[in-house]
Amino acid sequence: MAIHPIEFRYGTAEMRAIWEEEYRFSCIVQAEVALARASAAHLFIPAAAADAIAAGAGKTTLARAKEIEEEIGHDMMAIVKAIAEQCGEGGGYVHYGATSNDILDTATGMQVKASIAILDRKLRRLLFALLKRADETRTLVCAARTHGQIGVPTTYGLRFAIWASEVARHIERLGQMTPRVAVGQLTGAVGTQSALGGKGMEIQATMMEILGLVPVDVSNQVISRDRYAEYFMFLANVATTLDKIGIEVRTLQRTEIGEVEEAFGARQVGSSTMPHKRNPIKSEQVCGLARVVRAAVEPALQNNTLWDERDLTNSSCERVIFPEATILADHILALMIRVIDGLTIKHDRISQNLALLQGVNMAESVMIELTVRGMGRQEAHESMRQASMHALERKIPLAEVLSSDKKVRKFIAPGEVQALLDPRRYIGTAPAQVERLIQKLSPLCKESRG
């Protein structure tokens, strides 16, 4: 019976597969085989034993390992025994020179590497979706808002570009951190490699080369958890970007604003009691699950504060946070791609909101022009502040107030005011910034790390 929602509601099949018990078991078995192959390559065990272990590993089952674990109460040793009983005389060399976490942490490195490849692809897909939207809307002028209040104009293209730039930085971070987090080790009981004689460093290097992982430089019994903490902080950072986008979509979909709308199916139901509702449920789901992903950061940081050469407090915690945070981060990434791809942009409402303040939101434009024509900047600011407050209080167009303002008319003729209050003429370099960013980031959409 399923309990956690990632078992039946959240998560993509490809990411869930990486964190299922069967896949982890296969990673552990692969690590044991790689250990045997590397040991044989450096003449630490017979080549025939490594061949027997490789053959026997293919016959080893998770079910059998679980049977043994029921008897002995040790999950890693149960797998070792399950492999060994399939290897004949070579079984005596399974796990030779290793401690449990040499294999378990290396298996985690394999899972993290596979997860990173999926996250990388989805981040690039999201980047592509955002750049496409930025290109489509590079000159779509809209009301910007600061403190929740309408300000001078911006463009939807710039909004999408800002999000795209943030996603591109996540792709960059992912590439930078991968060699630090997708790692493995073979350092023995307390990190000295004493059970491997003088060949420990060489065997470790070869083992990780076989598995496609970066070997640690040094460790104790476990890989230092600052590496994993970085991974969880990365997931939290990505989740927060998605949360940020989701909040903006939800805000802009509010009835009072109504500038965008999530895709809504022909037979989709918005409410069990209010038939008219079209709710931004995908963005809401992104924002809600982002909280769970971020919640993994604190335990991940505490997992680095283990006793001496290690204790076991990290183990139970990591069994929860690795699959949960990774699967949910991947899920909300996929969800946000769907949101951006399907987003409806309502040009009529954008125009209505842009004109809502009857030109008051363009006061800066007039202030700047007054300064250019000779009025002091501070005087121009105060003059426009008073004119704006007057227009707002009387609920009349700013142009009407300015037409009777002697100070303003001294520098700007009434016939020129309307042009200064045109928001489409006050978007600065926004389109050029968008174009530059598209040219810079488009190549990232075509690359991939896995």
Q: Where are the domains positioned within the chain?
A: 360-420
pLDDT given at position 83: 97
The residues assigned a catalytic role are 147, 271
- Angstrom distance (rounded) from CA 157 to CA 297: 33
Dihedral sign from CA coordinates of 104, 110, 116, 121: negative
Give the pLDDT confidence of 205-241 residue by residue, as tens digits: 999 999 999 999 999 999 999 999 999 999 999 999 9
pLDDT given at position 414: 87
Average pLDDT, the chain: 95
- Angstrom distance (rounded) from CA 347 to CA 140: 8
Its pTM stands at: 0.95
Give the pLDDT confidence of 25-75 residue by residue, as tens digits: 999 999 999 999 999 999 999 999 999 999 999 999 999 999 999 999 999
* Sequence-distant (≥ 6) Cβ neighbours of residue 302 within 8 angstroms: 317
Q: Could you state, in chain order, the average pLDDT of each consecutive group of 10 residues for the chain (450 residues)?
A: 90 97 98 98 97 97 97 96 96 96 97 98 98 98 96 98 98 97 97 95 98 97 96 98 98 96 80 78 97 98 94 93 97 98 97 96 95 94 95 95 91 92 97 98 77
- Angstrom distance (rounded) from CA 354 to CA 153: 8
Phi, psi at residue 152, to the nearest 5°? -65, 165
pLDDT given at position 448: 57
pLDDT given at position 415: 87
Helices (H), 42-99: 47-57, 62-72, 75-84
pLDDT given at position 450: 46
Phi, psi at residue 447, to the nearest 5°? -90, 165
- Angstrom distance (rounded) from CA 300 to CA 303: 5
- DSSP letter at 424 equals G
Q: Are the C-beta atoms of residues 214 and 186 closer than 8 Å to each other?
A: no
Residue showing tokens 């139970």: 316
CB < 8 Å & 24+ apart, contacts of 193-198:
193/97, 195/97, 195/98, 196/44, 196/97, 197/44
Element (H, E) at 194: none
